[in-house]
Structure 1
Amino acid sequence: MRLGYLVPEFPGQTHVFFWREIQALRRAGDEIFLVSTTQPPASATTHEFAPVAISQTKYLFPPSPAGLGQWALGGLRGLTHGLSYIRRIQDRSLAGRVRQLALLLLAADLVDWARKNGIDHIHGHSCADSAHILALAHRMGGPPYSLTLHGDLGVYGSDHLLKAEHATRVFAVGRHLRQQLCGIGVDNEKIVETFMGVNTGELAKLGSARDMHRAELRLVTVARLDPSKGHLHVLIAIARARDAGIKVRYRIAGQGYFRDAIASKINMLGLSDCVDLCGTVSEMQVYSLLSNSDVFVLASTGEGEAWPVSVMEAMGAGLPVICSEIGATAQMITSGVDGILVRQGDDDAIFRAICSLAGDIEMRERLGKAARQAAIKRFDVAASARVLRQAIAAPQPDRVS
């Protein structure tokens, strides 16, 4: 296939898993053409692959004058169909209509780019406004498209049934998201459950010389600094563990607007000597953190979490994971076998898990070994890429007319 691959604001700090899938698809023989909405700021593109990814990516905003010129010379082909689509969008405010007309221009540019590159299909890794762009482009004469839903529908705006109406496939990252899509009327036959894979071969090499001590427990979280990621719950649990006589070191990798609040909580709890804010880290730095930690923690709450890549990476690196029950984590982890699941916002449960793992090296090793085996069996990027390409290439279900 000559496959268009759309990720908004690519390549962002959390987009390394997209790059892995792109490489896996290319190894499988597909020609992948990258497209994105806008180029992210330099501060969000620290990964080693970022310069190459940027050089290969077509950015829709601002739209290409040449592409719009070709559209105008061609008689504004598809404009009627595009305006018909826009009239069905729920937001009818003046600001909403202006934004929607801008999306139409981006869609026209996308149609021209797809035509020039002979694109067979475009897959979009979002169900927000970029899904509107793909739906508009298809109605305006562009190629077939598919979408991946990476989190709860409410996170991605509205009009989801409209966005998915003519999509050939809608990929759901977890069973709970399939249920949400079915709940709004998306045809179950076009929904495919999936995940974003990790390089289990590389991860399996990590931690081979991990030196565990009963005297200290090294915890790590890799996630953007946002209230929904639950850092404050972990900090409260760590403070209790310290008061109980457990020596804990906690490293937090990631950046975000919530950094000051997290730093304030660290100071308030008197944890400055045992908690490090590492900031934005590269893929290799993440691997180093996983190699030199004993336990991975992700205490996310609310909506927006689906099938956390950071959890798959930690499991692949042989780390026991303390993780909240959110999104598809109950599909990923069998609590007590290859990780520990806790209720959202349950500081007590996080504290108990920390205490159990701090005092039992054998438990850490058992959970970590089982986690690594689960990752190798279930989470490899080659498998997730195969699900995507086979579903796109397969005969399509009947579309809604």
Structure 2
Amino acid sequence: MKVGYLVPEFPGQTHAFFWREIRALEELGAEIRLISTRKPPADACPHAFREAAVARTTYLFPPEPGAMASAIARSPQGVVRALRYAARLSASGPREVAKNLGLVAVAATLRSLAARAGLDHVHIHSCANSANIGAMARLMGGPSYSLTLHGGLSVYGSDHAMKFAGASFVSAVTRPLAAEIAAVAPALRAPVIMMGVDTDEFRPPEHAAERPVGAPFRIVSIARLNMTKGHRFLLRAMAELAARAPQLAIEYRIVGEGPARDQIAAEIAALGLTATARLDGSKSEDEVRAILGTADALALTSVGQGEAAPVAVMEAMAMGLPVIVSRIGGTPDMIVDRVDGLLVPQEDVGAIAGAIEFLATDPAAAAAMRQAARQAAIARFDYRANAAKLWHEITSDGR
């Protein structure tokens, strides 16, 4: 079976999961054609697979010059249906109306590509405009399509009922997201299929040494530098601990890049943490694994609605690291609090400080949590098992 696999602006900083899933699907017998909306800047992906991914990916933008003519020749009624679909999309002004209509040409490009490649189906890892492109390509006689929802629907624009109407299924990475899909399209299949991690590659170091008495407790965050990731709350928790428990040494490495770099750097300086907190920039998957191997805990103190089932948390747990994570999205489904990780309320600096202090001062509890985290990752997050669930949904749909 030939399947198109569409990820917007692929490959990017956070796209290691997709590369793993592609490999797993191919091991299951899928013939995968990689598709993306547009090519990202060269520095957007620090991973070793970048060149191989770019070489394999067909980009839909700019649209093929002859794609619309080909679509009209094949199915003029289909093109009319796609134009009507685009005209019904929400728009706040003439510019957005023009942009929506322009998506029709991109959808025609997807239809042409699918026809040439003999694609039976396209799976789209987004519920934003890429979903509209898949829906309009289908209206023009293109292949069936399915979607994965990676965050709250509010993050992915509007018109979700239209996007879902023609989809074979819409999978969700958490149960709360599946409930959002069901609220829009009650009759639509909405299986919960988490993203995954390679638990063979992400595993505890073979000769991990215990943290010496008095050595700094090392925390790492692996996340885009965006204010929704909540780095500032972890930094404020560090400042609180420095004031009330100065004997407790904490070090914090922030791995990632993004638009909030200057704001986070200013927070570090304002809290007097320049000697103990540092911005490391974007790192490759191999570098991330090495950094996790030297850490004592991972923290992801995100806020808002954009977080779902963070892969960085899965990777850390697979490495046998205790995690300190906000109650957000699907994290309560991922973590059993005080067993294989620590869940904290969003924006609760005191709770974050308490979680750090607990792990840093109770090595026996931290060691037990390390073992439980590793076993939980194997049981819940292995990428092969989750890719098999996706492949089952794709291949069982009326076939």
What is the TM-score normalised by the length of structure 1?
A: 0.96
Q: Partner of 1:227 in structure 2?
A: 227
Where does 1:9-24 land on structure 2 (aligned, <5 Å)? 9-24=9-24
| Kept in 1: contact 2:309–2:329 (CA 8 A) | yes
| Kept in 2: contact 1:24–1:382 (CA 8 A) | yes
Q: Partner of 1:123 in structure 2?
A: 123
Q: CA deviation at 1:214?
A: 3.8
Q: Deviations over 1:210-253 (max 9, x none)?
A: 43234220000000001100100000001122221210110000
Deviates more, 1:81-90 or 1:4-13: 81-90
Where does 1:236-275 land on structure 2 (aligned, <5 Å)? 236-243=236-243, 244-245=245-246, 246-275=248-277
1:341 pairs with one of 329, 340, 343: 343
Q: Deviations over 1:257-297 (max 9, x none)?
A: 10111111111111111111100110011001100000000
What secondary structure sits across from 2:298 in the alignment? strand
Q: Partner of 1:163 in structure 2?
A: 163
Q: Distance in 1 between matches of 2:237 and 2:208?
A: 28
Q: Partner of 2:318 in structure 1?
A: 316
**Cα–Cα, structure 1 residues 71 and 149, in superposed 2: closer, same or farther, change >3 Å?**
same
Q: CA deviation at 1:101?
A: 1.4
Q: Partner of 2:363 in structure 1?
A: 361
Q: Distance in 2 between matches of 1:373 and 1:75?
A: 53
**Cα–Cα, structure 1 residues 333 and 347, in superposed 2: closer, same or farther, change >3 Å?**
same
**Count of residues in correspondence between the two structures:** 396
| Kept in 2: contact 1:207–1:290 (CA 8 A) | no
Establish whether residue 191 from structure 1 lines up as the match of residue 225 from structure 2. no
Where does 1:125-140 land on structure 2 (aligned, <5 Å)? 125-140=125-140
| Kept in 2: contact 1:4–1:34 (CA 8 A) | yes
- Give the counterpart letter for 2:86 in structure 1: I
Q: CA deviation at 1:187?
A: 2.8
Q: Partner of 2:305 in structure 1?
A: 303
State the superposition RMSD in angstroms.
Answer: 1.5
What secondary structure sits across from 2:253 in the alignment? strand
| Kept in 2: contact 1:320–1:371 (CA 8 A) | yes
| Kept in 2: contact 1:86–1:100 (CA 8 A) | yes
Q: Distance in 1 between matches of 2:188 and 2:67?
A: 35
Q: Distance in 2 between matches of 1:210 and 1:167?
A: 50
Q: Partner of 1:84 in structure 2?
A: 84
Q: Distance in 2 between matches of 1:207 and 1:283?
A: 19
What secondary structure sits across from 1:334 in the alignment? coil
Q: Distance in 1 between matches of 2:66 and 2:41?
A: 25
Q: Distance in 1 between matches of 2:127 and 2:338?
A: 34
Q: Partner of 1:63 in structure 2?
A: 63
- Give the counterpart letter for 2:315 in structure 1: E
Deviates more, 1:143-152 or 1:41-50: 41-50
What secondary structure sits across from 1:161 in the alignment? helix
Structure 1 gaps of 5+ residues are none
Q: Partner of 2:175 in structure 1?
A: 175
What secondary structure sits across from 1:145 in the alignment? strand
Q: Distance in 2 between matches of 1:324 and 1:301?
A: 7
Q: Deviations over 1:167-193 (max 9, x none)?
A: 001001101001111222x13551111
Q: Partner of 2:283 in structure 1?
A: 281
Where does 1:380-399 land on structure 2 (aligned, <5 Å)? 380-396=382-398
Q: Distance in 1 between matches of 2:205 and 2:133?
A: 40
- Give the counterpart letter for 1:340 in structure 2: L
What secondary structure sits across from 2:237 in the alignment? helix
| Kept in 1: contact 2:178–2:190 (CA 8 A) | yes
Q: Distance in 2 between matches of 1:237 and 1:92?
A: 41
Q: Distance in 2 between matches of 1:293 and 1:69?
A: 56
Establish whether residue 46 from structure 1 lines up as the match of residue 46 from structure 2. yes
Structure 2 gaps of 5+ residues are none
| Kept in 2: contact 1:213–1:361 (CA 8 A) | no
